[in-house]
A and B are shown apart, each in its own frame.
Chain A
Amino acid sequence: MEKLKELVDRAVSRRKFVVGAGAVAGATAALTITGCGGGSSSNPTPTPTPTPVTPTPTDNDVLNYALNLEYLEAQYYLYAATGAGLAAADISAGASSSFTKVGTVTTGNAAMVSGTTPAQQQIINEIAFEERAHVRFLRTALGANAVPMPDIDLSFFGPLAVAAGITTASAPAFNPFASFDDFLVGAFIFEDVGVTAYSGAAGLISAAGVAAGLLTAASGILAVEAYHAGYVRTALTGRAIAAGSTAAYPYLPAANKVEALRAMLTVGDTAAPSTSGSVETLLTLPANITTPSAIVAADPTNAVGFARTPNQVHHIVYGSATVGVGSGGFFPSGTNSIFATTTA
């Protein structure tokens, strides 16, 4: 815990990396984070697409896109809760899936989160349970068309934290399993993204899919992701208030650095967090009982939550703003999805 605090303090000088819309825009085009995981992630082979075409997704494509993201979330939370990931029965390929290879998890530091109180353990249990329920729900809904879990690299938190300016490359890698506060920062990486992903996917569902209840399912899962995001943002804010300052609680600024990175990777909508047009709302430390918090991530004019396209979400989970990339970051072999290759 103390380690991260020191690292954050040291990283303050690197904040130029993430503040200032101009600097951000300049950095975006070249930004690609290289994973350091072992196994299949050691030599990812991007698949270039000379003329990116917008795929016309079927409902199964949309659900499978969501399933890839849920595999990632479920693995993170299950490792955090129990020290083990999804069971084999929860990651297999449907009989009719065009993707047949069942991936593996590069675990990195993945383990039960250290030093949690019983109350903290119970919230990790809840999120793990609910994300696994989403995996199982989507697999059941897709039936034979369910894609298997792709390769997942849980060691990517390290390079991601370096890219965000939370740590430096020479420092020990950021480990979201090291403490409850580190876990919150790790969870923060996913939750707002999950909300925006389901928001962006809801409109892709066909009329037949709407009639079949898929929109209801998607919006219901969207709400659950927002409950989780509300939890994570409330916990980070509350713990910062209790600590008294962001210097005493560097996890809040760390989360904001994650936001700045996500904003840069949201290709097509890369405005800095909490600026006009951005799809990110920075956490704040309320000064006293007359100032508002910033728990909700929503546009400042209408308080409507954000949406991201599948492509924007892929840029984030690959840790790459580059167009034509087919893998990287948390998905060292790419997602098992028609959206797997990034576009502009």
Chain B
Amino acid sequence: MANQETQFLDDVIVKSRRKMLSLGLSSLAGAAGGALTGALAPAAQAATFTDADILNFALNLEYLEANFYYLAAFGTTIDVANAMSTAAGALTIKLTGTVGTPGTVTGGSMVPFSTTEVASYAIETAIEEGKHVNLLLGALKTAAVAQPAINLGTSFQTLATAAGVPNGSTFSPYTSDQTFLVGAYVFEDVGVTAYHGAASLLTTPSNLTVAAGILAVEAYHAGLIRTTINDLDPTGATIAAYTNNISTLRATLSQAGLLGAAPSPFDTNPDDFGLADFQVTLGASATTSTRITDADGTNAIAFARNTTQVLNIVTGGGAVGGGKVVSPAVGVFFPAGLNAGPNGFR
């Protein structure tokens, strides 16, 4: 199965430059470096990019996620083994990507976990995100982007402050089970929306199967994180309340990054919900529901985001300015921006 999946991705890479995609997303076209053509999209601008560009965009996000979880679970980055990562069986990633400018990972440290529950979840997630990096590196080969500069320290304080999390200016996700979960929360639902947005850009069934499979894993992770926060703070007094702050900020940044049509017809504004309960009507009268699933309140379909929306979140608003795309987007987790090929997304 592994070989088969790698082969699927190889197929993506070796495919000649794909046909122009009608995206209806001027923002995407702008992010792609202005390589515009409307040939196949009379009603909207279209972007020229390869499947490798899509996968490299995902690879940047996986670098970010994997390093966060490796640091939190093992106290090391994805490319350096230590006793913890070795004992857990986590891959040591050989950073073979060369496209773009390699950067260093700053911030982050091992969380002094107090419960098996949260620690085991952190270790599992680290292992799985590492495998995603490895899968994409192996598939992209010489087309793979280098790991960019990644800030996993002060970035959280910047975001927490912007989100209005209490004492955000000193917030660290590396101090306890609880703060780790909040840090993880920042990423997981975003991963879901990013792969969801990307899935529709991959049109051959075999490639789609892989993208759908990674999408599923990101949603498993998101479900895991949201469930655990909900369990630890059922009344919404502390960390569960912070999820509302974070989701509101993500939705605001996402909306600011949406300069054309939404990537999914089922998206709403806001396109993100924290763990605050909501009311549903199942029988005769309304009743209270948790919000483990981050999806719209009508169709229960998870949200999708285009690359500019995702960039605007992970750079804390760096992807748009004056109503236009800013490329490269720089800020927060990516102080030097993402790495990408000539027509890639950054």
Interface residues of A (CB under 8 A from B): 78, 81-82, 84, 118-119, 122-123, 125-126, 128-134, 136-137, 195, 198-200, 202-204, 207, 210-211, 213, 215-217, 219-231, 233-235, 237-238, 241-242, 276-277, 286-299, 301-307
Contact = CB atoms under 8 A, between A and B. Distances in A.
Contacts of A297: 220
Across the A-B interface, the 7 shortest Cβ-Cβ residue pairs: A230-B223, A203-B205, A305-B216, A226-B219, A301-B2, A286-B120, A223-B302
9 contacts: A125-B289, A126-B280, A130-B295, A132-B282, A219-B302, A228-B292, A231-B223, A290-B84, A304-B135
Contacts, number: 269
B336 interface: no
B196 A305 contact: no
From B218, B234, B280, residue with most partner A Cβ within 10 Å: B280
Contacts of B214: 303-305
Interface stretch (B10-18, B124-132, B157-165): B124-132
A305 B217 contact: yes
Nearest to B304: A216
A234 B203 CA distance: 33
B195 to A, nearest CB: 8
Contact of A84 (B200, B277, B283): B283
Contacts of A226: 215-220, 223
A291 B120 contact: yes
Contacts of B314: none
A203 B192 contact: no
Given A291-B120, A301-B2, A137 B208 contact: no
Contact of B227 (A224, A230, A288): A230
Contacts of B128: 296, 298, 303
Interface of B: 1-2, 5-6, 22, 84, 87-89, 113, 115-117, 119-121, 123-124, 127-129, 131-132, 134-135, 192, 196, 199-200, 203, 205-206, 208-210, 212-224, 226-228, 230-231, 234, 263-266, 277, 280, 282-283, 287-295, 298-304
A302 B135 CA distance: 6
Contacts of A223: 192, 196, 215-216, 218-219, 295, 302
Nearest to B299: A137
Contacts of A199: 209, 212-213, 216
A126 B292 contact: yes
A289 to B, nearest CB: 4
Contact of A296 (B200, B220, B280): B220
A289 B212 contact: no
Nearest to B131: A303
Contact of B304 (A119, A132, A220, A237): A220
Given A216-B304, A292-B120, A230 B220 contact: yes
A204 B205 contact: yes
A242 B5 CA distance: 37
Contacts of A287: 116
From B113, B135, B216, B219, residue with most partner A Cβ within 10 Å: B216
A224 B205 CA distance: 21
Contacts of A211: 22
Contacts of A210: 200, 203
A123 B292 CA distance: 8
A50 B97 CA distance: 53
A297 B214 CA distance: 11
Given A123-B292, A302-B135, A220 B124 contact: no
A202 B207 CA distance: 11
Given A125-B287, A129-B300, A222-B212, A228 B293 contact: yes
Contacts of B123: 290-293
A216 B265 contact: yes
Contact of B219 (A128, A137, A230, A241): A230
A305 B131 CA distance: 12
B135 to A, nearest CB: 4
A228 B212 contact: no
Nearest to A212: B265
A202 B212 CA distance: 8
Contacts of A295: 121, 124, 220-221, 224
From A84, A305, A306, A307, residue with most partner B Cβ within 10 Å: A305
Contact of B213 (A78, A126, A229, A304): A304
Contacts of A219: 196, 199-200, 212, 215, 302, 304
Contacts of A84: 283
Contacts of B1: 276-277, 299, 301
A322 B303 CA distance: 39
Given A219-B200, A220-B301, A302-B5, A125 B280 contact: yes
Contacts of A200: 209
A170 to B, nearest CB: 36
Contacts of A292: 88-89, 120, 123-124, 127
